[in-house]
Amino acid sequence: MKELRLMKGNEALAEAAIRAGADAYFGYPITPQSEVIEYLMANKPEDRTGMVVLQAESEIAAINMVYGAAGCGKKAMTSSSSPGMSLKQEGISYIAGAELPCLLVNVVRGGPGLGTIQPSQSDYFQSVKGGGHGDYKLIVLAPATVQESVDYVKLGFELAFKYRNPVMIQSDGIIGQMMEKVELFEQMPRVEPDYDWATLGKKKDQPSTFITSLQLQAEEQEKVNLRLQAKYREIEKNEVLFEEINCDDAEYLFTAFGSCARITRKAMEMARAKGIKVGLLRPQTLYPFPTEAFSKIADKVKGILCVEMNAGQMIEDVRLSVNGKTRVEHFGRFGGMIPNPDEILNALEQKIIGG
Amino acid sequence: MSENLITPENLVYQKTEAMTDRILHYCPGCGHGTAHRILAEVIEEMGIQEQTIGVAPVGCSVLAYYYFNVDMQEAAHGRAPAVATGIKRVFPDKYVFTYQGDGDLAAIGTAETIHAINRGENILIVFINNGIYGMTGGQMAPTTLQGMKSSTSPFGRDTKTMGSPLKITELIAQLPGAYFVTRQAVHKPANVRKAKKAIKKAMEYQKLNKGTCFVEIVSNCPSNWKMTPVQSNKWMEENMFPFYPLGDIKVPEDK
Amino acid sequence: MAKRGDVVIDIEKCKGCEVCVSACPQEVLALAPEVNKKGYHYAVKVNSDCTGCTNCAIVCPDAVITVYREK
């Protein structure tokens, strides 16, 4: 039977974590994501499933607790918002280097610095292009609804363990704070880990297992990098997710992700009402990026407007995908400001149609 | 010698199986090897090799996972107590230890150290204090003595501008979460025996779920102190021990 | 009378730190004039006074000494 509830994005995500059979959550309060840990603490997952919830002394400690639990083959996660995510980057790099599965959630707010607590998408580069040091990639899922926030928790853990790679849900202050109808999936059991890569305690007559991201010999470190790159190519081949709306007859194209895609969709409807044939391509995975979808559609549209709540970040990937085949322009509001459909439509008319 | 004493029934001491056969990368005479060995011996004697998970730090003992024949994780610099927290919370029945140097534990990792102990995480923290950053080539550590020379205090540690040597062990002993806190050494047979006893006690306490056990080992760094191993041990006795006196600092009240 | 003992030193793993030499109450150990493959003057027995007390092995940072003692 369907379980429908009206829930706040952050709380729905926390409920999804319990239901996905997560073993451990380690976090630290920061606006606008504190409801995640608050919901977890209030809903006693320790009693419901045995899931561990711990408020760490810092984001740095939290991500390293995730490292420890993930290294034991457990489903571990943390969540934060932009400044806190910056603090976690060292740990994320180590997790990627040691090839540990885990789920990260960034409820993005405006920056740089302490910035603002209002929603933003200005951490696209941080999430998609690395964030921490070294050549690594996170799988980045960008929900546009509370429903997707829930579904991506389940998907995120699946992908994390499939590839032994950290997965990030890049939410924002809108998705995290708004209430929507959501269908919750049924409680999944927690799984006792039995992985040969995990530190479960040394098995008799077998060599011990260790988790590390250190290779002092350059030849060995290059091998690690080659293995990671091969994994990333697999991910790019298998895991791209995107949504196309009104793209079949489109002469122009909007692209946007997350909450911004919802506003852009309204602009698309307004444009259609005026007779402008415009579609919307919404990447659901920011990495792997829907490169091929953009390349294909670039053959038939006269221009693409990339709408983001930042100064122009995803547009770089759009342009790389399109590779000069059509015009790509950016429209953005940032620092916590949210664009309205009118100004998006106006930008389409000025920058793409009239430009 | 008239008869051969080297027979299996006469064997009284050999390297523990809780250590691998890898050659340690440590400098000649460095206390790390001895500290590793006694911890490994305790693990073997308690029969917990298959239930122990260790956490290695960043510093000279970054490769400790090559030497301990138990499952281990390598932590980011200073974060070992947080990593150990993550492990212990999902595996409360395992024996979890961190092995950290002074820079790792008492400088960059101060917050993780204090808060893990303040939560009373049921882990063992083995803290090697040799008053210097060994791995990076002898820079000043939080525990470098007043006036002690290092590559970043070439004229001696001036406490006016560089701060005073940090007695982190006395500091964390104040925390309710700390159950057993002791300071030991491993340069002489009697000290090694005592230090091993302390580590064994600490590992046994872990079963009781009473809080963090913390074993500091005041050690040497012949290479960066620029002395022979034997000289460095003498220097340690004369200079380190007066400031970092050996002995128990906090013992369980309910024992 | 003290029991008799003996030690076996893994000379290729020995780093010649000399800590065992000063730990031996019987002055059984010294550094060899020769060097091992790594270039260290390794520890050797210089007399038969070993009692198998294990002091040398206990302070050896590289765990290269195995000790035997008559029963």
The residue of B83, B88, B123 whose CB has the most chain A CBs within 10 angstroms, and thus the best one to mutate to test that interface, is B83
- A13 within 8 A of A36, measured Cβ to Cβ: yes
Sort strands A210-211 and B52-56 into parallel, antiparallel or unpaired: unpaired
Tell me the ipTM for this assembly: 0.97
Supply the CATH number for residue C50's domain: 3.30.70.20
Q: What's the half-sphere exposure (Cβ side, CA atoms, 13 Å) at B30? A: 23
Q: Is A216 helix (H, G, I), strand (E, B) or coil?
A: coil
Q: List pLDDT tens digits, range C39-57.
A: 999 999 999 999 999 999 9
For residue B72, list chain A residues with Cβ-Cβ distance below 8 A: 199, 208-211
Q: How confident is residue C71, by pLDDT bands cut at 50, 70 and 90?
A: confident
Percent with pLDDT over 90 in chain B: 97
Domain count, chain C: 1
The values of phi and psi at residue C53, to 5°, are -75, -15
B neighbours by CB contacts (3+ pairs under 8 Å): A, C
Contact: C63, B29; criterion CB under 8 Å: no
Among chain B residues, CA nearest to A71: B73
Question: In this model, does residue B230 exceed pLDDT 60?
Answer: yes
Strand pairing partners for C66? C8
Question: In this model, does residue B254 exceed pLDDT 80?
Answer: no
Sort strands A3-8 and A24-27 into parallel, antiparallel or unpaired: unpaired
Nearest to B196 by CA among B10, B42, B11, B27: B42
Predicted local distance difference test score (pLDDT) of residue A2: 82
User: Does the domain made of A242-353 have the CATH classification 3.20.20.150?
Assistant: no
Q: Is A39 helix (H, G, I), strand (E, B) or coil?
A: helix
Q: List pLDDT tens digits, range B142-189.
A: 999 999 999 999 999 999 999 999 999 999 999 999 999 999 999 999
- CATH assignment of A3-202+226-238, given 3.40.50.970, 3.40.50.12780, 3.40.50.300, 1.10.357.10? 3.40.50.970
Cα–Cα dist A35/A12, whole Å: 10
Predicted local distance difference test score (pLDDT) of residue B1: 47
Contact: B86, A70; criterion CB under 8 Å: yes
Token pair belonging to A278: 């415009």
DSSP string, B141-180: -TTPPTT--BTTBTT---HHHH-PPP-HHHHHHTSTTEEE
**Using CB atoms, which residue from A61, A90, A208 is nearest to B115?**
A61
Among chain B residues, CA nearest to C5: B5
Predicted local distance difference test score (pLDDT) of residue A1: 66
Predicted local distance difference test score (pLDDT) of residue B255: 60
Supply the CATH number for residue B52's domain: 3.40.50.970
Cα–Cα dist A59/A56, whole Å: 7
Question: In this model, does residue C1 exceed pLDDT 70?
Answer: no
Contact: B11, C19; criterion CB under 8 Å: no
* CA A219 centroid distance within chain: 32
**Using CB atoms, which residue from B6, B28, B188 is nearest to C17?**
B28
- Residue B70 located in a structural domain: yes
Sort strands B71-74 and B52-56 into parallel, antiparallel or unpaired: parallel
* Long-range CB contacts (within 8 A, 24+) of B233-239: B233/B29, B233/B187, B233/B188, B233/C19, B236/B185, B236/B187, B237/B187, B239/B145, B239/B148
Expressed as residue numbers, the domain containing C9 is: 5-69
The residue of B1, B2, B7, B10 whose CB has the most chain C CBs within 10 angstroms, and thus the best one to mutate to test that interface, is B10
Question: In this model, does residue B2 exceed pLDDT 60?
Answer: no
- C21 within 8 A of C29, measured Cβ to Cβ: yes
Expressed as residue numbers, the domain containing B155 is: 8-250
Helix (H) or strand (E) holding B182: strand B178-185
Q: List pLDDT tens digits, range B29-50.
A: 999 999 999 999 999 999 999 9
For residue B19, list chain C residues with Cβ-Cβ distance below 8 A: 63
Among chain A residues, CA nearest to B65: A210
Tell me where in chain A the CATH 3.40.50.970 domain(s) lie: 3-202+226-238
> Which stretches in chain A have pLDDT values below 70?
1
